[in-house]
A and B are shown apart, each in its own frame.
Chain A
């Protein structure tokens, strides 16, 4: 039944910020924006800085009121505090209370969600294990690295087992290894049936985890849809071969030439890995070699 109600439903959202007391001086941060994040789906809202991503997110969280339009979370108006029962939020560059330890932080947010006793204790242990902070659980957050803060932030977002997780630039400022871990966690959330709504300007990362993508620019939705549909080039086809001999390649080329018409080979060469993948491969290999020693 829960699949029927979208996790987030934004209809004709407009958000205007006044820049002075004069009525005609205002900035339109979000302009008539409409989109839906389906239950269990990973939706990425991408766009450059200042495009209206964070404003949209804040309206969905009830931190801002829409100037016009509506925002609902699992059918409940996002201004209604009850909508927040189902939301876990990780802000960009999360700063939590530095004087609290990892466990104390999760306890604080858990209690705000009405949790307590054995249930909360078990959930904290489970989340600390999930985000890999068991060893640092009693350390104060003032001594946490950026990546650790991001991970404890994700744990606090998940504390009350929300059905929707909202992530604002979840990997901003995190190194590639930490970034990969967060992406793996997002994929795990999706596997667990949790809806994820993330904002980012790091396009490659969005591409790796999102089912649906919306491209926002100057407050307006420019393109939206299924990721595969958006990025595939309809009139082109790729063929990746392994251990292909020069003779086979020559035969393929001849076949294509024989076909005639508009058919032609546009590119031929060795596929290249990304610098990030190369970095991760080296880091993993070094780690494995050290653990063997």
Chain B
């Protein structure tokens, strides 16, 4: 009879054996609400919007240069917001749940630990995605308005100066080429994917960190190292004796430290360069690899962690 009941219990609980998208979504939505209601989030958003506004001030430069400058400042701000928020928000969430014992009540429900980690990651990424979309909409409105205004003024000026129609068109095209283009959406995607990798690294750090501060500092160091990774590795390999040990260490280092320069082509897009499709695919592929790799590492630590 006892066996019957145990079997019944297994059957009742059978639906929880698989990873549940619904539970991940519940935790992600909870995280989204938590971050939206945290004052730090508003603070970061305020800074980001302030920088966007500053980027739209009138500068002493040609129309095309001004538009280019606005784009650089705006995308720089979005990038700063995204990776900084990915580190800080992710580093705070898990230690806080442990400290407040909220984690006890969550994990005492039929929730797999991987669902908890993924829920937290998705929640952070949702906030970043919403913030980036919001900032991109504001940026698009401003850059479009400025492009139209600059092009109109230039057209009027050149017409008044009696320039030939072909020259006028060239000048106007030079201005509009620095305006709003669909390719800028790819630049936003690159910023988002980079922050997804940063957040995954930080989730891994926070599974064994003793404090949020530790995760934030190490996360930032890894971010900086990741940006200079290729340069540093090339220099080291060039200077070393090229032994097996060096090659092995170099490979391990390359796996453990994400190459954030992969995402730097977004800067080229902002400056008006053409997109190379293989770079976009490579960026997306590497983002998925790194996010998956660090979540797997995080689970390895978190799976048997005792609270």
Establish whether residues A84 and B110, one from each chain, have CB atoms under 8 Å apart when the complex forms: yes
B22: which A residues are within 8 A, CB to CB?
111, 114
B34: which A residues are within 8 A, CB to CB?
97, 99
The verdict on A89 contacting B108 (CB below 8 Å), with A4-B2, A5-B5, A74-B6 known, is yes
Establish whether residues B23 and A89, one from each chain, have CB atoms under 8 Å apart when the complex forms: no
A108: which B residues are within 8 A, CB to CB?
26, 30
Q: Which B positions have Cβ atoms within 8 angstroms of A?
A: 1-6, 8-10, 12-17, 20, 22-23, 26-27, 30, 33-34, 37-38, 100-102, 104-112, 304, 306-307
Establish whether residues B104 and A4, one from each chain, have CB atoms under 8 Å apart when the complex forms: no
Can you list 26 A-B pairs, Cβ within 8 angstroms, ordered by A?
A1-B4, A4-B2, A62-B108, A64-B307, A74-B9, A76-B6, A81-B17, A82-B12, A82-B16, A82-B17, A82-B110, A84-B13, A84-B109, A85-B16, A91-B101, A91-B104, A97-B30, A99-B34, A104-B33, A111-B26, A112-B27, A112-B106, A112-B111, A114-B20, A153-B105, A160-B109
Chain A positions 128-171 with a Cβ under 8 Å from a chain B Cβ? 153, 156-157, 160, 166
CA distance A270 to B51 in the complex (A): 79
Which of chain A's residues has its CB closest to B110's CB?
A84
B2 CB to closest chain A CB (Å) equals 5
What mask results when residues 101 to 133 of chain A are scored 1 for a CB within 8 Å of chain B, else 0?
000100011011110000000000000000000
Establish whether residues B2 and A81, one from each chain, have CB atoms under 8 Å apart when the complex forms: no
User: Is residue A2 within 8 Å, beta carbon to beta carbon, of the partner chain?
Assistant: yes
Can you add 11 more A-B contacts, CB < 8 Å, to A65-B306, A75-B9, A99-B34?
A63-B307, A76-B9, A82-B12, A84-B13, A84-B16, A86-B9, A96-B105, A97-B102, A99-B37, A109-B105, A153-B105
A27 CB to closest chain B CB (Å) equals 14
CA distance A156 to B109 in the complex (A): 10
Establish whether residues A87 and B4, one from each chain, have CB atoms under 8 Å apart when the complex forms: no
Establish whether residues A1 and B5, one from each chain, have CB atoms under 8 Å apart when the complex forms: yes
Establish whether residues A75 and B2, one from each chain, have CB atoms under 8 Å apart when the complex forms: yes
Q: B33 is contacted by which of A95, A100, A109 (Cβ under 8 Å)? A: A100
* Interface residues on chain A, size class: 35 or more
B111: which A residues are within 8 A, CB to CB?
81, 84, 112
A95 CB to closest chain B CB (Å) equals 4
CA distance A64 to B5 in the complex (A): 25
CA distance A113 to B23 in the complex (A): 8
Q: B112 is contacted by which of A58, A81, A89 (Cβ under 8 Å)? A: A81
Q: A87 is contacted by which of B12, B101, B108, B307 (Cβ under 8 Å)? A: B108
The verdict on A2 contacting B5 (CB below 8 Å), with A100-B33, A114-B20 known, is yes
The B contact surface, by secondary structure, is helix
B156 CB to closest chain A CB (Å) equals 53
Establish whether residues B12 and A95, one from each chain, have CB atoms under 8 Å apart when the complex forms: no
User: Is residue A93 within 8 Å, beta carbon to beta carbon, of the partner chain?
Assistant: yes
Give 10 closest A-B pairs by Cβ, nearest first: A82-B13, A75-B6, A5-B5, A89-B108, A95-B100, A4-B1, A99-B37, A111-B26, A85-B13, A84-B110
A220 CB to closest chain B CB (Å) equals 21
A213 CB to closest chain B CB (Å) equals 23
Establish whether residues B110 and A112, one from each chain, have CB atoms under 8 Å apart when the complex forms: yes
CA distance A135 to B27 in the complex (A): 26
User: Is residue A94 within 8 Å, beta carbon to beta carbon, of the partner chain?
Assistant: yes
Establish whether residues B112 and A112, one from each chain, have CB atoms under 8 Å apart when the complex forms: no
Chain A positions 189-242 with a Cβ under 8 Å from a chain B Cβ? none
B13: which A residues are within 8 A, CB to CB?
76, 80-86
A37: which B residues are within 8 A, CB to CB?
none
User: Is residue A61 within 8 Å, beta carbon to beta carbon, of the partner chain?
Assistant: yes
B26: which A residues are within 8 A, CB to CB?
108, 111-112
A101 CB to closest chain B CB (Å) equals 11
Establish whether residues B5 and A75, one from each chain, have CB atoms under 8 Å apart when the complex forms: yes
B11 CB to closest chain A CB (Å) equals 9
CA distance A94 to B108 in the complex (A): 13
- Looking at A61, A85, A112, A156, which has the most chain B CB atoms within 10 Å of its CB? A112
- Looking at B14, B27, B30, B106, which has the most chain A CB atoms within 10 Å of its CB? B30
A84 CB to closest chain B CB (Å) equals 4
B32 CB to closest chain A CB (Å) equals 11
B20: which A residues are within 8 A, CB to CB?
114
Which of chain A's residues has its CB closest to B108's CB?
A89
CA distance A2 to B100 in the complex (A): 35
CA distance A65 to B304 in the complex (A): 8
CA distance A74 to B1 in the complex (A): 12
Which of chain A's residues has its CB closest to B4's CB?
A1
Which of chain B's residues has its CB closest to A98's CB?
B100
Establish whether residues A109 and B109, one from each chain, have CB atoms under 8 Å apart when the complex forms: yes
Which of chain A's residues has its CB closest to B35's CB?
A99
Establish whether residues A76 and B23, one from each chain, have CB atoms under 8 Å apart when the complex forms: no
Establish whether residues A4 and B5, one from each chain, have CB atoms under 8 Å apart when the complex forms: yes
CA distance A79 to B74 in the complex (A): 49
A83: which B residues are within 8 A, CB to CB?
9, 13
Establish whether residues B5 and A63, one from each chain, have CB atoms under 8 Å apart when the complex forms: no
CA distance A112 to B27 in the complex (A): 8
B249 CB to closest chain A CB (Å) equals 26
Q: B23 is contacted by which of A1, A62, A86, A112 (Cβ under 8 Å)? A: A112
